[in-house]
A and B are shown apart, each in its own frame.
Chain A
Amino acid sequence: SQQGEEDPQALSIQEGENATMNCSYKTSINNLQWYRQNSGRGLVHLILIRSNEREKHSGRLRVTLDTSKKSSSLLITASRAADTASYFCATLLQSYQLTFGKGTKLSVIP
Chain B
Amino acid sequence: DGGITQSPKYLFRKEGQNVTLSCEQNLNHDAMYWYRQDPGQGLRLIYYSQIVNDFQKGDIAEGYSVSREKKESFPLTVTSAQKNPTAFYLCASSHKGDTEAFFGQGTRLTVV
Contact = CB atoms under 8 A, between A and B. Distances in A.
Partners in one complex: yes
Contacts of B42: 2, 88, 100-103
Interface string B48-72: 1010000010110000000000000
Contacts of A88: 42-43
Interface of B: 6, 31, 33, 35, 40-45, 48, 50, 56, 58-59, 88, 90, 92, 94, 97-106, 108
27 contacts: A2-B59, A31-B98, A33-B101, A35-B101, A35-B103, A41-B105, A41-B106, A42-B6, A42-B104, A43-B90, A43-B103, A44-B103, A45-B101, A88-B43, A95-B56, A96-B31, A96-B97, A96-B98, A97-B56, A97-B58, A98-B33, A98-B48, A100-B35, A100-B42, A100-B44, A100-B45, A102-B40
B105 A42 contact: yes
A98 B102 CA distance: 12
Contacts of B41: 102
The 9 A-B residue pairs with the shortest CB-CB distance in the complex, in nearest-first order:
A102-B42, A42-B103, A100-B43, A45-B100, A96-B97, A43-B103, A42-B105, A103-B42, A100-B42
B10 to A, nearest CB: 11
Dominant SS at the B interface? strand
Contacts of B101: 33, 35, 43, 45, 90, 98
A98 B94 contact: yes
B100 A33 contact: yes
Interface string A48-61: 10000000000000
